[in-house]
Amino acid sequence: MAGSSSTAPNLVTGAGLGRPSRPGWRGRDRESQAVAELLSAAESGRGGALLVEGRSGVGKSRLLTEAIDVAAGHGFMLAQGAADECGRLRPMEPLMSALGESAHTLRAAQGGTLADMADLRLWLLERLQARLEERVARGPMLIVLDDLHWADPTALLALRSLVPELASYPLAWVLSRTAGDGSGDAERLFDFLESDGATRIELRPLDYVATAEVATDILGAEPGPDLLALAEEAGGAPYVLTELFEGLLDEGAVEIADGHAGVTSRQVPRRVQAGTRTRLDKLSPRTRHLLEVAAVLGRSFPVDDLADLLGEPASALLPELEEAQRAGVVTPDGDLLTFRHHLMWRAVTETLSQPVRLALHRQAGEMLLARGGSAIPAAGHLMRYTRPGDTGALAALDQALQEVLPSSPQTAADLAVRAVELTDPGDPQRFDRSMTAVYALTAGGRLAEASELANTALEQASPDKIARLRYELSYIHLVAGRPADAADEAERALAAESLSDDLRDLAQHVLFRALFFAFDHPRGRERAEAVVAHPERHGHAALGGAHALLAHLTWAEGHAAEAIARGWESVRVAASGPLRARHAHPALHLGALLTNIRQLDEAETVLRAADEEITALGHTVHAASPALFRARLRLAADRLDDAAAEARAGLALADELGTHAFALLGFAVLAVVAVRRGDLGAAARQAELHDSLYRTRRGMMYGSVWSSWVMATVAEARGDLGKALEIAHAPYTEPTRRRWLLLVEPDAAPWLVRTALAAGRRSAAEDIIATAERLARDNLEFPVLAAAAAHARGILHGDAEALTQAVTTHPSGWNRASSAEDLGVLLASPETAAGSDREAAIDALEQALDGYQQTGASRDAARVRARLRGLGVRRRQGTGAERPDTGWDSLTDTERKVTALVAQGLTNPQIAGQMFISAHTVKFHLRQVFRKLGIASRVELARLATGRSPETALPGAR
């Protein structure tokens, strides 16, 4: 591996870390050690991140330079980028520049298939991750990104994903931001990465000892007390200290005798008093003028841009640029010139008066526009300094907005909102700009702002435009998880007299979806049936929405096969419809229906297609949805680890994007997993999150019937039978909700019966049985319903034959175990007709114990062990020992398969494709493997796997 020769310095101890050429780093051994440990880990195959923050001038850039120098000496591949205040409109700028990519390059590489994508963020993220995995497969790599407080939201979103996803590769990240100088999004990124294991350091002002070392480096002598007292003016900032001591030397204010330095004047040097003004004053007037103009272009600037702005050939600027470099004001940085320090650049810009600065920004914007091509560079100047009503500048903002929108909707939203602010109230363009801003805010997840802007526009809109605004508001409410509000707004839009066919189609589509989410299915039945009866009169959006609503109406009536057929028709219609109709992703809901009746292989296929469609269409607002639906699918398949991994990934992404339409599913899945594992505290926390979301979203309903039942099971598990009955009130008392729940979750029937009996409510238990048996009779194609009904009937009537039927026919391992446990309890009870058969009871309980252990339900397994102890059985021969907590033997079969594919050199997405699971799940299993084996990298894992015999270590490997 690169950098592993015997002559290389020892990165682990930090030995051999040379000081930078500039002074000021003595006393910073802690930070240097953090760099050394990060790079040493990468050399051994472990990824990681170092997060650096602090005020301007405190030395962040020097630490980054040190990291680059050390990594270069060890043969690391290097990538370096920085965000820039003037370039924050360019999506993914710091990452793209670091990796030598551009949005144009990436789009061209796709071969032009992005034309239908409304949002490129998912695609760009996938592309960057693939490129990085290709690179780090060749050896360790360091990526350094500076000034992330100026980074655009898409870049920060990408880093939130890429850093953890690539943690098992030899990839080191050093990320820097200036504290208190900009984006709270960057601070949230740092908080997230720190919670995920990144090392975070805050660079503080140098202390007394370190200040003395800086003085010694610059002055060549040990500073005296008077000099150090004067140095307190610098506040411990290395940059300002350097200016102070060099200024004292320049002004002859230092006296050196016998190796000690003192001051001949108590006055702070003019260089420090006036910031960079004194340094600039030493330059020629023409050079000062040139630098003031250059500062408008940003801290880094191309010489060609400066020449064009000054209206002179670049060759004519050479004497002044050379003078500025000799004075240390600017330095070369690749094909750009960069102001030596952020504080220097800021000081230069602040020497310009506001009117002059505004005029120069306007001139820079016009110059960049005149070149043609992208309007984004010009927009960075125009959006902040354009006067209201400037039609030329507004047209440029409109163009830049359309360029930015696909890859960074949040940045586009900033542009769009600014364009609306700059447009005169009477300008005909104001409405269209408002609509564009609403769309961009919605796509960027800023739903509250989108709603506020749409309502403001509604107050000023002419009658012919009100319907469109109503539709946009309905869509915002739908995405935000407020289906009742969405339905109301959609109906208002449909009631408008002036409504185009296309808008009517979309409004009906949103209405159908909203009524479905709000569990208000009958309200739209007549309209949906009318649409389906005359498909030629309606567009694809309305037709697809009508089939989806009717699917759930027939489901609520207990006809699963018909509902699934309508679900398939909704998927077919939507596939050929307009973009927003396709954004409904009815395949997600079809996958949920198939999961409900335990057609798990088919559900897997459907949800995989939905996931691919969301990525292909660039529908980032729905990016979290597949993981949440897969979480419930994994739970139904008794894969608790996978279910938890998918739920956590989906909830984290939903929180990041501000889209919570399906979040109830995630909290409920995590609650079930926690209960089965016996972590009732964690289950209670998930219940609190679930209930809080339900309340704050004003009745968000998708999945709420199922998730509310889950919350009832949590209450019962914690010993609060009264609360459990209160939460489960609807299934006991409302036939429609009862029928819906028992079809959505057949396994609820046994629990509802058992709980009702515990509360002495036999009639309620009988109602549950009647509904469960009717559903089983009406849906013979789906045996899970018959198994659930038999299980519930066996509990109510003490029917051993019914429980045996459930044990032998239920498709779920956990439910077979649950049925076997109830059978064992029945057979062991002397109070029942089937009781007093001890051996049969023990056999059934042993079967239950095996089933619970195989599915990871440790709480249930512990309960069955207690029942067996009551029958005098400690451990029955053949049951098998439990898996150890650590070591190779602790790995599950899934974890061993992941290990085998990692050893073959496959990436996480490649492993996901081979195992038919998601990359989120692969990452979760990989972390579990690392924890159990006490390692942290793919390199170590491959080495361990190679040392194991294939038949015991790598089942399924080829």
Segment 746-759 shows an average pLDDT of 95
d(CA 862, CA 859): 5
Segment among 159-163, 331-335, 544-548 with least mean pLDDT: 331-335
Q: Where are the alpha helices (DSSP H) in 48-183?
A: 60-73, 93-98, 103-109, 121-136, 153-165
Segment 363-385 shows an average pLDDT of 78
The better pLDDT of the pair 269, 113 is held by 269
Q: Residue 98: what pLDDT? A: 82
Query: Two tokens at 422?
Result: 């700059």
The better pLDDT of the pair 1, 38 is held by 38
325-334 pLDDT per residue, tens: 988 788 887 7
Segment 718-736 shows an average pLDDT of 93
d(CA 545, CA 581): 8
876: confidence class by pLDDT, cuts 50, 70, 90? very low
The better pLDDT of the pair 120, 829 is held by 829
116-126 pLDDT per residue, tens: 445 667 677 77
The better pLDDT of the pair 345, 635 is held by 635
The residue among 411, 414, 374 whose CA lies nearest residue 396 is 374
Is pLDDT above 50 for 880? no
**Number of other CB atoms surrounding residue 281 within 10 Å:** 12
Angle, alpha carbons 692-696-697 (nearest 5°): 115
Place of tokens 């409410």: 477
d(CA 910, CA 365): 45
The torsion angles phi and psi of 75, rounded to 5 degrees, stand at: 75, 15
d(CA 209, CA 217): 13
The better pLDDT of the pair 102, 307 is held by 307
572-582 pLDDT per residue, tens: 888 876 666 66
pTM over 0.75: no
Is pLDDT above 90 for 732? yes
What are the angstrom distances between the C-alpha of 635 and each of 395, 415, 641, 644, 851?
52, 43, 9, 8, 15
Segment 904-912 shows an average pLDDT of 84
634: confidence class by pLDDT, cuts 50, 70, 90? very high
Is pLDDT above 60 for 881? no
Q: Residue 10: what pLDDT? A: 31
CB 239 within 8 A of CB 20: no
Q: Residue 728: what pLDDT? A: 93
Segment 303-310 shows an average pLDDT of 91
Q: What is the mean pLDDT of the chain?
A: 82
Is pLDDT above 70 for 642? yes
The proportion of the chain whose per-residue pLDDT surpasses 70, expressed as a percent, equals 86
378: confidence class by pLDDT, cuts 50, 70, 90? confident
Q: Residue 578: what pLDDT? A: 64
Query: Two tokens at 328?
Result: 């240390």
CB 620 within 8 A of CB 405: no
Query: Under DSSP, is residue 34 helix (H, G, I), strand (E, B) or coil?
Result: helix
Angle, helices 285-296/342-350, rounded to nearest 10 degrees: 100
Segment among 7-21, 629-643, 717-731, 923-937 with least mean pLDDT: 7-21
Q: Residue 118: what pLDDT? A: 55
Q: Residue 86: what pLDDT? A: 65
The proportion of the chain whose per-residue pLDDT surpasses 90, expressed as a percent, equals 32
First to last CA, the chain: 26
262 CB-contact burial (10 Å; exposed 0-12 / middle 13-18 / buried 19+): middle
Query: Two tokens at 431?
Result: 């409405």
Is pLDDT above 70 for 97? yes
CB 120 within 8 A of CB 618: yes
Q: Residue 655: what pLDDT? A: 81
Angle, alpha carbons 748-751-753 (nearest 5°): 105
| Count of CA atoms in the C-beta half-sphere (13 A) of 921 | 29
Is pLDDT above 80 for 337? yes
d(CA 695, CA 700): 8
Is pLDDT above 60 for 182? no
